[in-house]
Amino acid sequence: MNLLTRIAGCAVFAPLTGYSPLSGADELERPIRETQMTNPIDTSQRFARRVLLASLVAVGLGQTVLFAILAPLGREIGLSEIQVGAIISASSITVFLCVPVWGRLSDKWGRKRVMLIGLFGYTLGTVVFAAVFQSALMGLLAPMPAFVALVISRMLHASVMSATMPASSAYMADITTVATRTKGMGAVGAANNLGAIMGPALGGGLAIFSLLTPLWFAAGLTLVTAIVVTFMLPEAPRVVLASVPARMSRLDRRILPFMIVGVLMFAGFAIVQQTMAFRFQDVLGLTGVETARIFGLAMMMSAAASLLSQIVVVQRMNFRPFTLLKIAMPLLIVAFAIMAISESRDFLLAAMVLQGLGMGLAGPGFMAGASLAVGPEEQGAVAGVAGSCGPLGFTIGPITGTALYSLQPEYPYLFTLMVYVPLLVFVLYTKVDQQSKE
């Protein structure tokens, strides 16, 4: 695993930032090494701590593989744009409901156990989801029965796989201090984005065999990751609570500003994520496989830009969480404006890069801010509640975006602009208590 981490650093960090392979891997590890823990993990076990970040690479890869192929795959079996969006929305509302529960259970059961539930559940759910698509491609299921089966299988899949991220974020919170929390959450985001870079590249490459091959690969990779986590990841250095903590409200005044920003931010991101594949295919006149490749490239570039902003800005500079959001919002607004007015391949790719830069700053700012607003005994709960903002955004975004796209291809991005401009005003003029704590 040590060797794989260093190879990943060489392949991704060095071309983007000029770092050496070792420094790229170390950058993700720095928040962990700087942490003063109640129950420190011995230096000789540093390798095991990297398993947390490696598992997030696998999760990021699996998620972006699906987004790269879902739009063309849905059209292959006769689904409409709205039906494709509904599949994502149905799974996202399931994650929205389940993530807070898994976050609180990780406070009681321990981070590692809940992570394993998510990883093994992800593997099984992906196999079932791919099998339904395979049946539809073979003609065993008509479009409407296939759509219903895909929605049900994806919701069942989401109910279990949603355990991974809140447990992982809470694990990182456990091994960081207040001073290193933002960098720690940046490392979580960077690991996830490393997977997001690899996912579209693999998805586009493996799609030459079939559009389903990337899903089978993702299931196998997640299974291997779950096995590695089982044997290599130590329990988080914390005391497991005797009972499940009280439920944390999404309207809790300590975290409410971050909840508002999170839901709207991820809704806009989801609109783009779910409609841009259609945009590339329709504007450039591409086949399904060609769409998977070009959109895979776009997602890879976006994720690389996100990773770059996390490595250079989040890890190197001590910006407060809301400051990161203030920097990110204008970048995202410009990106959506380009998507709305341009039909050029190069300009659309450039817009995806700008979006990646913005989300790379906004994600850690959002998660770190929510984490710093509460005490150490509530980290699982806040990770679950904050983690549910993304799924809620992805519940609203895909169905809204695909409905608007079916009316006029530019509408999804104009709508997102209408959401983000007032969101920028809100971020600029909102003051939060965390800023005095950092």
pLDDT number for residue 154: 93
In this structure, what are the phi and psi dihedrals at residue 28, rounded to the nearest 5 degrees? Answer: -70, -30
- CA 262 from centroid of its chain's CA atoms: 13
The whole-model pTM stands at 0.64
Does domain 20-33+49-433 fall under CATH 1.20.1250.20? My reply is yes
According to the model, what pLDDT value does residue 59 have? Answer: 82
Taking Cα atoms as reference points, which of 269, 278, 258, 250 lies closest to residue 396? 269
Which residues of the chain, if any, have pLDDT below 70?
Answer: 1-49, 178-183, 185-186, 189, 193, 196-197, 200, 204, 236-247, 377, 380, 431-438
Model pLDDT, residue 48: 53
Give the dihedral of Cα atoms 372, 374, 376, 377; nearest 10 deg.
-160
**Residue in 276, 282, 267 with CA at minimum distance from that of residue 296:** 276
Q: What pLDDT, on the 0 to 100 scale, is given for residue 290?
A: 85
Model pLDDT for residues 298-315, shown as the tens digit of each residue: 888 888 888 788 788 877
For residue 151, the model assigns a pLDDT of 95
Contact 167, 114 (CB under 8 A): yes
